[in-house]
Amino acid sequence: MMPSRNRQRLFGAALLAVMLVQSGCGTTPPTKFFVLSPAATLPAPAPDGARVLRLGVGPVDLPEYLDRPQIVTRTANSELRLADDRRWAEPLRDNFTRVLSDNLSTALGTTEVHTFPWWPSQPIDYQIIVKVLRFEGDTSGNVTLVARWTIRGGPERKILFWQQSVVSVPISSPNNYDSLVAASSAALAQLSGEIAAAIKQQLH
């Protein structure tokens, strides 16, 4: 049998370990959750008598390395880092699609914005399809968004416009995820502005 003194020492060590854990020593930092934010909250009303645009946003496609809860940063050309304690509060594809929709609603003055998939009977003037190629912060202190996007229109959804956009926004405070997400929202706002401008050209 184990001597009584040894048992007391083991019990004391175990008790000390429990107290250290309960006091917060040796614990991992709490996980923080983030979302992209729209450039504005309310759409500008269309002028009286103006045509109300009906937009369909999506599908939006993300590369698999981004389609995950962890926020991804690029540490080298071919090296990525996944932050286990800094995560998206919802699937990034859904968040990206919703914010893009909100931005287009604001820029084009319409509340008739539907996200993919919508009912086949839903009337849509223009459909915006987006394929994201890159969307992350990097060690140079920028968020880079590279996306190919297409505008389709008419009953047959013909391609009216196609473009690849490259957007780079500086991160105000490097190594700060609040700043990184704010820069990501700003990059998406710039992409939204390019898409809105192309849609306006189709109206002339």
Return the pLDDT at 71: 97
Residue 12: band (very low, low, confident or very high) from pLDDT cuts 50, 70, 90 = very low
Return the pLDDT at 154: 81
Whether the predicted pLDDT of 8 surpasses 60:
no
- What's the rounded Cα separation, in Å, for the pair 99 and 192? 9
Whether the predicted pLDDT of 97 surpasses 70:
yes
> Model confidence over 45-57: pLDDT tens digits?
555 556 689 999 9
Phi, psi at 130, each rounded to 5°: -130, 130
Return the pLDDT at 9: 52
- What's the rounded Cα separation, in Å, for the pair 130 and 148? 6
Which domains, from first to last, does the chain contain? 52-202 (3.40.50.10610)
Return the pLDDT at 42: 55
The region that residue 24 occupies, defined by phi over 0 for left and psi between -120 and 50 for alpha, beta otherwise, is: left
Return the pLDDT at 78: 85
> Model confidence over 149-195: pLDDT tens digits?
999 998 788 999 999 999 999 999 988 999 999 999 999 999 999 99
Element (H, E) at 107: helix 92-108
- What's the rounded Cα separation, in Å, for the pair 24 and 15? 15
Return the pLDDT at 49: 55
